[in-house]
Chains A and B, each alone.
Chain A
């Protein structure tokens, strides 16, 4: 989408009231923000009540890196790998933000990273990570375990 002002700035405000200013080219890496820009809603500061400052800074850093033409393919790969070396809380915050902001490449990477982290875990651990209540009775859960005993070794 061409803009008459090619270095138009987009202003964003995180849930904890931090403001960020980025070039439009960076901001539109997010489909959500791109739609707002296209619809002409991006002239004032865009509030993002479900993304905190720390996470938003990370996401914008990712977007900046991906529009920077001076970055080589190898450098980008390394950047992406290091980027996802986060603790669980940040990773899930990032997941929610990437989903909401619809930053394509980032969302796929985070989903894969989360999948890799959880694939070997036990159900109890999964419940803790995702804050899920166990709504099975002990008998019901036991039945599933017995039927598929081989998977629980």
Chain B
């Protein structure tokens, strides 16, 4: 009878779907060890290029909320949605609602929140839906000198993979009432490291002297930094957080946004959907960091809300995307509209693969470029660890 050398077994396993690997852990101790080996997990992530979408059914009054996994086949067809359950958090009979913050390398960062009578409460979890496991991020109170507890006004979160430290990180920007002054608002920035399983206050805090609000509900990643729209007395600017240096910067816009516009990424460049005096449409910053390089690239009708990439077709030439919460018109999709519409009804919202509130190219390998989305996140199934080194 045949005995296969271990390296051939590893090669075969690296092409298998995660579900098979989970099952094959009980074949033997050698297989258990192989499947959980960090190097193998990395190899598997790069080899098994299964594209998947994860989404939450909108306006679902059921609890726990309904999440679905949809696989995209090699022939660029959407598979049937499979129901999955997010980690359940329940506190004093309060049911949390969820929102996806972002996903990387198969891990999904998910926000659990509930609005209670005296302020809202939230939890953050890092979830690998492919293996149905999750890790709760420890709750970190706002670093406040008075230690009396603060009233949180706004919360902005982002999730990404740091390849330098092989670590997954969560950024938290909290705005809260200054306990000493009812009118003033303070903010605090902390970063959580999955590896260290702890939070750390960022030294470089937000560079605004006047009151400001972060208007984007989620960040957009490009050029090694996260970006948000910020509204202050002086108008609307773009706040950038460099993931390597962990420093904030501000970029100005050459036009005035009369209404709320969305940030997005197209072809690797930062773009904004702007309702302005001069021209409504999609504007692109052609040269990163150069204010004068903003130019309009698309004129679109007002019904265009935001465009979110879900996935690329296998040959990379076509995209599956969402406009607002409906799937984009036929010319943009690699599926026929009827199929897309059917999926849309079933799941409500389809998840996004590796994209920000705009569009990011799908990385060739698991470089962990982050994406963020509210109800949507696409990802590649992996056996990424929740308590060990990241990939």
A residues engaging B (CB < 8 A)?
A: 89, 92-93, 95-96, 99, 111-112, 114-115, 118-120, 122-123, 126-127, 130-136, 141, 144-145, 148, 150-152
A145 and B2 form a contact (CB under 8 A) = no
Known: A111-B11, A130-B3. 15 other contacts (CB 8 A): A89-B2, A95-B4, A122-B23, A123-B24, A130-B4, A130-B9, A131-B3, A132-B30, A136-B28, A141-B26, A144-B25, A148-B22, A148-B131, A150-B132, A151-B23
CA distance A43 to B13 in the complex (A): 39
B333 to chain A minimum Cβ distance, whole angstroms, is 28
A-B contact pairs, 7 of them (CB 8 A): A96-B4, A123-B23, A126-B27, A130-B3, A134-B28, A135-B29, A144-B32
User: A131 to chain B: which residues have CB within 8 Å?
Assistant: 1-3
Q: Is B12 an interface residue (CB 8 A)?
A: yes
Query: Nearest CB to that of B131 among chain A residues?
Result: A148
Residues in chain B within 8 A of chain A (CB atoms): 1-5, 8-9, 11-13, 15-17, 19-20, 22-32, 131-132
A96 proximity list for chain B (CB < 8 A)? 2, 4
CB neighbours (8 Å) of A118 from chain B are 12, 16, 20
**Contact assessment for B20 and A120 in the assembled complex, using a CB-CB cutoff below 8 Å:** yes
Query: Are A119 and B17 interface neighbours, CB within 8 A?
Result: yes
What is the CA–CA distance of A115 and B44 in the complex, to the nearest angstrom? 13
- Which residues from A are CB-within-8-Å of B32? 144
Within the assembled complex, what's the spacing in Å between the Cα atoms of A35 and B133? 47
**A119 with B26, Cβ < 8 A, contacts A92-B2, A99-B5, A130-B9 known:** no
Chain A residues with Cβ under 8 A from B24's Cβ? Answer: 123, 126
Partner pick for B28 among A95, A115, A133, CB 8 A cutoff = A133
Contact among A99, A123, A150, A151 for B8, CB-based, below 8 A: A99
The A contact surface, by secondary structure, is: helix
Task: Give the complex CA separation of A123 and B23 in angstroms.
Answer: 7
B31 contacts across to A, CB distance below 8 A: 132
Query: A149 to B17, alpha carbons, bound, how many Å?
Result: 16
- Distance in angstroms from A114 CB to nearest chain B CB is 6
Q: Is the CB of B22 within 8 A of A115?
A: no
Which residues from chain B contact A92 at a C-beta distance below 8 Å? 2, 4
Min C-beta distance of A104 to chain B, whole Å? 13
Would you list the 7 A-B pairs with minimal beta carbon distance, nearest first?
A: A151-B22, A131-B1, A144-B26, A119-B20, A115-B15, A92-B2, A151-B23
Residues of B contacting A144 in the complex (Cβ-Cβ under 8 angstroms) = 25-26, 32
Selected contact of B12 from candidates A93, A114, A120, A148, CB within 8 Å: A114
Residue in B16, B17, B26 whose beta carbon sits within 8 Å of that of A123 in the complex: B26
Shortest Cβ distance from A91 into B: residue? B2
A119-B17, A133-B28 are contacts. A148–B8 as well, Cβ < 8 Å?
no
Q: Which residue of A lies closest to B22 (CB)?
A: A151
Q: Nearest Cβ in chain B — how far from A15, in angstroms? A: 14
> Which residues of B lie under 8 Å from residue A151 when comparing CB positions?
19, 22-23
Q: Which residues of A contact B20 (CB under 8 A)?
A: 118-120
Chain B residues near A127 (CB-CB < 8 A):
27-28
With a cutoff of 8 Å between Cβ atoms, the chain A residues found around residue B25 in the complex are 144, 148
Q: A115, B23: Cβ atoms under 8 Å?
A: no
CB distance from B20 to the nearest CB of A (A): 5
Using CB atoms, name the residue of chain B closest to A134.
Answer: B28
Q: Which residues of A contact B22 (CB under 8 A)?
A: 148, 151
**In the complex, are the beta carbons of B16 and A115 less than 8 A apart?**
yes
Q: Which residues of A lie under 8 Å from residue B13 when comparing CB positions?
A: 115
Instruction: Give the distance to chain B from A134, nearest Cβ to Cβ, in Å.
Output: 6
Q: A115 CA to B13 CA in the complex, in Å?
A: 7
Residue on A with the closest CB to B20? A119
Inter-subunit contact A95/B29 (CB<8 Å):
no
Docked-complex contact A115 and B27, CB < 8 angstroms: no
Contacts of B12 in A (CB 8 A): 111, 114-115, 118
Q: Which residue of B lies closest to A117 (CB)?
A: B12
A152 to B25, CA, bound (A): 11
Residues on B with beta carbons closer than 8 Å to the beta carbon of A135: 28-29
Task: Give Cα A130 to B31, complex, Å.
Answer: 12
Cβ of A134 and Cβ of B4 under 8 Å apart? no
